[in-house]
Amino acid sequence: MSKVSKAVVVFSGGQDSTTCLIQALNQYDEVHGITFDYGQRHSEEIEVARSLGKRLGLVSHKILDVSMLNELAISALTRDSIEVSNELMENGLPNTFVPGRNILFLTLAGIYAYQLGANSVITGVCETDFSGYPDCRNDFVKAMESALNQGMDRQCEIVTPLMWLNKAETWALADQYKSLELVRDETLTCYNGIIGNGCGTCPACLLRQRGLEDYCNNREQVQSDLASKCQK
């Protein structure tokens, strides 16, 4: 009997994690989701993730309360009193950066994968076309993977399908799985908690919209670029 392939997807209900989830459902026998409630500014994403998880067919979907992160990590995404800004802070990072967030999320997702017997943790972080967060870089992910494998004495790969894709190519990937409209209309990326096209002015919405416009205007070229990257 062949071994059942299992994966855990870090799932926020946004464009990137939903695209990763859709791809995973086509690549693994069992796909489990894990969503984190850390008192985030756009808390509506939790209900969006819950709804999409049911619709897309997750085997299980764990929603964890990690609100202690809100107490420690001061950011525009954890404090309503801090306005989301397009300007960088003095340290060169966006004020939407939540320090330690992906360290915590990947650690907990790795523990969940251990309990499920899954050998893959999938996350939608990206170094090519991102918001400047240091915990979205490939070097960070590889360091976390090494730490988890050493700390739990078990091989588990952190898979990053979007790491080297720009936003247009991420849209192309969703389209490849016949899910562009679902991702466009039903995911929540907006920092102000508006589903679909969002507010249109926050950094997340601007990045998402530019990518969609680029894909729609250069569909064949973007699809070709995506195919070339996927073959590497």
**Which residues are documented as binding site for ATP?**
11-21
Q: CA-CA distance, 151 to 67, in Å (whole number)?
A: 24
Residue list, annotated binding site: 11-21, 190, 199, 202, 205
Give the three-class secondary structure for 6.
Answer: strand
Q: CA-CA distance, 227 to 172, in Å (whole number)?
A: 10
Q: CA-CA distance, 202 to 190, in Å (whole number)?
A: 7
Q: Which two tokens stand for residue 132?
A: 């400047």
Residue list, annotated binding site for Zn(2+): 190, 199, 202, 205
What percent of the chain is helix, strand and coil (3-state, nearest 5)? 45, 10, 40
Give CA torsion, residues 8, 125, 212, 210, to 10 deg: 160
Give the three-class secondary structure for 217.
Answer: helix
